[in-house]
Amino acid sequence: MISQTAEYALRAVVCLAQNFEKPLTTVQIANVTKVPEHYLSKVLHALVKGAIIKSQRGLHGGYLLIHAIDQLSLWTIINAVDPLKRIESCPLKLGAHKTNLCALHKKINQSMKLMEDTLKNSTVRTILDESSLIIPLRES
């Protein structure tokens, strides 16, 4: 439903949000998020290209969030690495359904929109603030 890659991206950004002062390296993020290190490196790169985070090479380098955490939605993060594509046109390519999706695809699309809207309305800050005793990525 949400790809592994998207889940990894969300973890990485939450991790960066929890440590927003200093750059974190791939290895550090991998340790906290439990994402395979080398795969994470690709995901982080996608987030850089998607302008969610920025990277700094060399000593004391690593990754930093670009956005304020209350401006950054889960949807934005997911979309940077693995767009949740809605149904824009008839999957069967029926001409008659071009402008108007049929009830089946409308309904599927609507259900996906609800999910999308929820993710659009959830900022990283929401996630950090809602954590009480259970802190994202933290064991205790």
Partner DNA sequence: AGATAAAAAGATATTTTTATCTTTTAATTG
Partner DNA sequence: CAATTAAAAGATAAAAATATCTTTTTATCT
Residue 67-96 contact track with DNA, rule CB under 7 A, x = bound: ---------------x--------------
Q: Using CA atoms, how far apart are residues 108 and 51, in angstroms rounded to an integer? A: 30
Question: Cβ–Cβ contacts within 10 Å for residue 21, how many?
Answer: 5
Give residues 6-45 in contact with its own copies (rule: CB under 8 A).
7, 10-11, 14, 33-34
Find which of DNA, its own copies, none residue 60 binds, CB within 5 to 8 Å per kind: DNA
Cα separation values, 82 from 28, 50, 61, 103, Å: 23, 11, 26, 26
CA nearest 63: which of 134, 11, 5? 11
Using CB under 8 A as the binding rule, whether residue 108 contacts its own copies is answered as yes
Residues at the contact surface with its own copies, assessed by CB under 8 A: 1-2, 7, 10-11, 14, 33-34, 74, 84-85, 91-97, 100-108, 110-112, 114-116, 118-119, 122, 126-131, 133-140
